[in-house]
A and B are shown apart, each in its own frame.
Chain A
């Protein structure tokens, strides 16, 4: 069974006085299997962030449904949504979104503390994770003292420490230099290899080329998708580039 099922998702933003409407998503349908690593590609403004916000129940769709592990997010009572997000989902953002009032360690603990876990358990979970992510040395530092790549790894640790069913990433490499980008992408690949389901939205071909499947959205719809099959990263990179070229020239992909 799919871990994530998105059906006919539609989102229209209405300005405050209802005078202007922006259709960010028109009709998005796709599903994600357990253990998959899906990249969603699209131009800036094509509705990628909107899609992720809907998947995380941070926002409500205008129409359509999102099933996460068989649960209809729209049916979830308001008071349970936050707990659901905290326990089932991990979030990584382009701009890291670490709280500057916490040390790296406390930032990572945040979702567990909110879930009411005892400190011993939190520490036991953090130790191997921090080692894997290479941030063991940074735990006592504050966000302002570490680099962008390090911040993003801390954010990944925060997303993974709850052992979420689904890891959502919104342009996670967007604010990183190329070396940190490579490190982060390898990390994602490694995490995925161990069974973590990942949905990542990006407009970077390089980032998308590490996924097992790539969805393209344009004009608020899923327009096309590519499976990795047996391709290497380089081959997939080439295929994605070709697809984007065709999309850009307005043609249809067969």
Chain B
């Protein structure tokens, strides 16, 4: 009986406040859903059966952790907002003779109902959608999928335990809040804290400086590897600065505008500026959160999307041939015709006639600092300054005979003459020298290589130098490299034999690769492998692809999943902001009308304020994204995707999609806002 009473009060309260509770309930359910989908997928037996499943599992679990932490923070935020709104009602109950124990009981029921709804609806939707998510993930990871529905008990358990714990903690916090409050405070708490905002100049200026510094860091990053650490610091700085700017900076700006009498005491600015100061004081943190969430969504989606969509191209860069076998030799003298014959033989034996576009060539690869037409061979660049790193070159020395054979053109070069190709801008200068070793005259430059090169390492520029007397030149350079202080093995000699396998799918290609490996191993065992071969390596594009897409497919998948959650969270924050703004503006709306503002004037000032408040985070997020751009570009280049136009397109597209979504949310919530604000007139009419 008594229990039923409190339950009914709880249900009543939630129904009366459905404007507040419905979105909250849906968000809770949505978080449970995404959480279940990710953990369910991570623990799914599928991960053990597919290629790259382990990597995928790790990425999914990382995503789960992000979702978990975020859910915790976010539910705390929304719950405290709800409680603050409800306090008035509780204060009334209290004054009407209910004690805090009774109110606690109502709260208990409310939390139980919320948790029940969130878990039941969230898990139900999660189970239904997890299959869809699985298909989507497998599609992106380029894997075949089965269509059986599968419920993952570990995922269910994790979701129930984790969210059960969150709700328990939320309940404890709410109870403590009620216990500590006085009835009159409960009644007043909604209107409390109406103190005028004070400009905190220190924080405002600090915010601007920190943001500037963070932007500077992000833009001046050169080395992608050290960049990761720097960028992490920059991210933290940006987050801090965003909060400072929205909380303190905005108020300071309003105060500054108020000091400027000529500006402030104008009909168009007067009301806007002064109420904006109040608005920002109350909403600064929420807006900053929206801004950060938006930035995260944008950076995540644009980078993982670019990686994913740029993957195919990157694969061609990293794996120029569908299948390639390379043999390293100890010295250039070892690159004999026997070696080539053997490479061709094993390739043909493995491919069994399905190969095409077969190419074979020999190269000596080295690298170092390149200045004034002279290369100083060097292996480690870490302690170099950014400007010096610009001078790093990868250099291939190749036989002119390979050029002539592969291109079908002949070139008559004298001794110590060379043809030079550059991956960057065309080679300038008449000579190419290796310091302390050999100087070559550049007889001409090439705009294209006669074979497919591995152009993924495009972080640095590379040169290909074709010489007629390759064995002699290469030997000399190899000797120089060996005698240098930087250690042995600086110059490597490799013969590459690569070909395509048209008409074969990924699995068949991998089969051929395996066959090739078997053949080579058999040759090693029975000793028929030429003695010139020091080591053998294989590169299969199909193999690389499946690794690549299991990583970047799942990264993109997580990016999308997280974005959905973040966007939902941002939408809820916006919605709650609009609600509370609406309630606060009700009375103001009324007064302004009595003092002589037309409805139109009021509407337009309120409109412009609301718009400024809600679009500021979007715009700042866009600026953040723009400044993160150089870094994102470098990071994804590190992953082999070097496609600036694609990155620009994905970034702009992400921003556009997000902006459209944001506008939709804004429109929808603005309607709620106006219905609340104009409820003044209706109430009077009752």
- State the A residues within 8 Å of B (CB): 13, 15-16, 56, 58, 78-79, 81-83, 85-87, 91, 93, 97-103, 106, 109-111, 113-116, 118-119, 122, 142, 144, 158
- Decide: A110 and B588 in contact? CB cutoff 8 A: no
The complex places the Cα of A115 from the Cα of B597 at a distance, in Å, of 10
- Decide: A16 and B685 in contact? CB cutoff 8 A: yes
List 25 A-B pairs, Cβ < 8 Å.
A15-B685, A15-B686, A16-B685, A78-B598, A79-B598, A79-B600, A81-B598, A83-B598, A85-B594, A86-B595, A87-B596, A98-B591, A99-B274, A99-B275, A99-B588, A99-B591, A100-B588, A101-B588, A106-B270, A110-B271, A113-B270, A114-B596, A114-B597, A115-B267, A144-B194
The complex places the Cα of A78 from the Cα of B194 at a distance, in Å, of 35
The complex places the Cα of A158 from the Cα of B685 at a distance, in Å, of 27
18 further interface pairs, Cβ-Cβ under 8 Å (given A79-B598, A99-B591, A118-B265): A15-B686, A82-B601, A83-B596, A85-B594, A86-B597, A91-B595, A99-B274, A99-B275, A99-B588, A101-B196, A102-B274, A111-B596, A113-B265, A113-B266, A116-B267, A122-B265, A142-B195, A158-B595
Q: A13-B685, A58-B593, A102-B274 are in contact. Are A114 and B262 (CB under 8 A)?
A: no
Given the complex, which residues of A lie within 8 Å of B278, measured CB to CB?
100-101
Given the complex, which residues of A lie within 8 Å of B526, measured CB to CB?
none
The complex places the Cα of A16 from the Cα of B681 at a distance, in Å, of 11
B261: CB under 8 A from chain A? Answer: yes
> Which residue of chain A has the shortest Cβ distance to B195 in the bound complex?
A144
The complex places the Cα of A118 from the Cα of B265 at a distance, in Å, of 8
Given the complex, which residues of A lie within 8 Å of B595, measured CB to CB?
86, 91, 97, 110-111, 114, 158
B58: CB under 8 A from chain A? Answer: no
B449: CB under 8 A from chain A? Answer: no
- Decide: A97 and B594 in contact? CB cutoff 8 A: yes
The complex places the Cα of A138 from the Cα of B601 at a distance, in Å, of 29
CB distance from B677 to the nearest CB of A (A): 15
Given the complex, which residues of A lie within 8 Å of B270, measured CB to CB?
106, 109-110, 113-114
Given the complex, which residues of A lie within 8 Å of B32, measured CB to CB?
none
CB distance from B281 to the nearest CB of A (A): 10
CB distance from A193 to the nearest CB of B (A): 26
Given the complex, which residues of A lie within 8 Å of B588, measured CB to CB?
99-101
- Decide: A101 and B593 in contact? CB cutoff 8 A: no
The 6 A-B residue pairs with the shortest CB-CB distance in the complex, in nearest-first order? A86-B596, A82-B598, A101-B275, A97-B591, A113-B270, A119-B265
> Which residue of chain B has the shortest Cβ distance to A93 in the bound complex?
B594
The complex places the Cα of A181 from the Cα of B131 at a distance, in Å, of 73
B337: CB under 8 A from chain A? Answer: no
- Decide: B594 and A56 in contact? CB cutoff 8 A: yes
> Which residue of chain B has the shortest Cβ distance to A49 in the bound complex?
B684
Given the complex, which residues of A lie within 8 Å of B598, measured CB to CB?
78-79, 81-83
Given the complex, which residues of B lie within 8 Å of A114, measured CB to CB?
267, 270, 595-597, 601
Given the complex, which residues of B lie within 8 Å of A87, measured CB to CB?
596
- Decide: A91 and B685 in contact? CB cutoff 8 A: no
Given the complex, which residues of B lie within 8 Å of A142, measured CB to CB?
195-196
CB distance from A155 to the nearest CB of B (A): 10
Given the complex, which residues of B lie within 8 Å of A103, measured CB to CB?
196
CB distance from A101 to the nearest CB of B (A): 4
The complex places the Cα of A17 from the Cα of B265 at a distance, in Å, of 43
The complex places the Cα of A208 from the Cα of B591 at a distance, in Å, of 25
The complex places the Cα of A13 from the Cα of B275 at a distance, in Å, of 33
- Decide: A99 and B682 in contact? CB cutoff 8 A: no
Interface string of B482-502 (1 = CB under 8 A from A): 000000000000000000000
The complex places the Cα of A86 from the Cα of B594 at a distance, in Å, of 8
Interface residues of B in 582-629 (CB under 8 A from A): 588, 590-598, 600-601
> Which residue of chain B has the shortest Cβ distance to A162 in the bound complex?
B596
Task: Give the most central of B265, B588, B595: most A CB within 10 Å.
Answer: B595
B277: CB under 8 A from chain A? Answer: yes
Given the complex, which residues of B lie within 8 Å of A116, measured CB to CB?
266-267
> Which residue of chain B has the shortest Cβ distance to A159 in the bound complex?
B595
Given the complex, which residues of B lie within 8 Å of A110, measured CB to CB?
270-271, 595
Given the complex, which residues of B lie within 8 Å of A13, measured CB to CB?
685
Given the complex, which residues of B lie within 8 Å of A85, measured CB to CB?
594, 596
Q: A101-B278, A106-B274, A122-B265 are in contact. Are A58 and B686 (CB under 8 A)?
A: no
Given the complex, which residues of B lie within 8 Å of A122, measured CB to CB?
265
Task: Give the most central of A56, A82, A158: most B CB within 10 Å.
Answer: A82
The complex places the Cα of A113 from the Cα of B594 at a distance, in Å, of 15
- Decide: A101 and B265 in contact? CB cutoff 8 A: no
Task: Give the most central of A87, A103, A110, A158: most B CB within 10 Å.
Answer: A110
The complex places the Cα of A122 from the Cα of B270 at a distance, in Å, of 14
CB distance from B156 to the nearest CB of A (A): 49
The complex places the Cα of A97 from the Cα of B590 at a distance, in Å, of 9
The complex places the Cα of A251 from the Cα of B448 at a distance, in Å, of 113
Given the complex, which residues of A lie within 8 Å of B596, measured CB to CB?
82-83, 85-87, 111, 114-115
- Decide: B592 and A99 in contact? CB cutoff 8 A: yes
> Which residue of chain B has the shortest Cβ distance to A97 in the bound complex?
B591
Interface string of B661-686 (1 = CB under 8 A from A): 00000000000000000000010011
Given the complex, which residues of B lie within 8 Å of A97, measured CB to CB?
590-591, 594-595
> Which residue of chain B has the shortest Cβ distance to A120 in the bound complex?
B261
Given the complex, which residues of A lie within 8 Å of B685, measured CB to CB?
13, 15-16
Interface string of B558-601 (1 = CB under 8 A from A): 00000000000000000000000000000010111111111011
The complex places the Cα of A80 from the Cα of B543 at a distance, in Å, of 77
The complex places the Cα of A99 from the Cα of B602 at a distance, in Å, of 14
- Decide: A119 and B594 in contact? CB cutoff 8 A: no
The complex places the Cα of A83 from the Cα of B597 at a distance, in Å, of 7
CB distance from A159 to the nearest CB of B (A): 9
Given the complex, which residues of A lie within 8 Å of B591, measured CB to CB?
97-99
CB distance from A110 to the nearest CB of B (A): 6
The complex places the Cα of A157 from the Cα of B265 at a distance, in Å, of 18
Task: Give the most central of A58, A78, A83, A99: most B CB within 10 Å.
Answer: A99
